[in-house]
Amino acid sequence: MRGCFTITLKRMKKNKMAYKKITIEKDKKIALVAHDNKKPDLIEWAKFNRDLLAHHTVYATGTTGVVLEQELGFPIIKLESGPLGGDQQIGARIVDGEINFLIFFWDPLEPMPHDPDVKALLRMAVVWNIPIACNRASADLMISSPLMDEEYDRLVPDYDTYRTRKVPIEVEIEEIEDEVGTPNTIILDGDGLEAQGSNQSTT
């Protein structure tokens, strides 16, 4: 004879998250990023839109920043190369509010050794609801939008609710007196789930 547990999972009701407004100023803080095969496209695009970019604060990673500064003739805040942590640096600045606009010409046909960093960067852009252009067409439409030279209130989930959520870490298991027929209860309360189980005998 040995005891086994039957566990039933029930999803607990989650509260609807509230939103708050964060203003993007007239002068945007723009990150320009491109994979190697897309760097010529980004440089050409930036040169074409040089006057529109000039009054914004522009960030760039690695060699892209060096070339952009030479071609555009105004200061670029240069970060590390993407594979060396540049994507993570941009992601951190998005979280801190230092970057509020992302133009990322990424190559969908080439595998990238730092692909997890790229996905993490794009995820942060979505989490904090900043404008993202991932190809030339979307970048053209965004840079020519009247909103580029106006204040814009972006809606961001109020993550204070998430930060202060309760995360139980205890698992309670009633003591088993014998292996047959003794009911047992397991309570797991984490990430919105709770589980209850009963002990059943098997041969």
> 69 in helix, strand or coil?
helix
The active-site residue, picked from 27, 41, 51, 87, is: 87
**Which amino acid, 38?**
K
Q: Where are the alpha helices (DSSP H) in the chain?
A: 39-48, 50-53, 62-72, 86-96, 115-127, 136-143, 160-163
Residue in 131, 148, 151 with CA at minimum distance from that of residue 51: 148
Task: Name the token pair of 54.
Answer: 């000039």
36 is catalytic: no
Instruction: Write a three-state SS string for 128-179.
Output: CCCCEECCHHHHHHHHCCHHHHCCEEEEEECCHHHHCCCCCCCCEECCCCCC
Task: Name the token pair of 190.
Answer: 């984490």
Q: In the Cβ-directed half-sphere of 138, how many Cα atoms lie within 13 Å? A: 11
Distance separating alpha carbons of residues 122 and 106, to the nearest angstrom: 11
Distance separating alpha carbons of residues 140 and 2, to the nearest angstrom: 67
Active site (catalytic) residues: 87
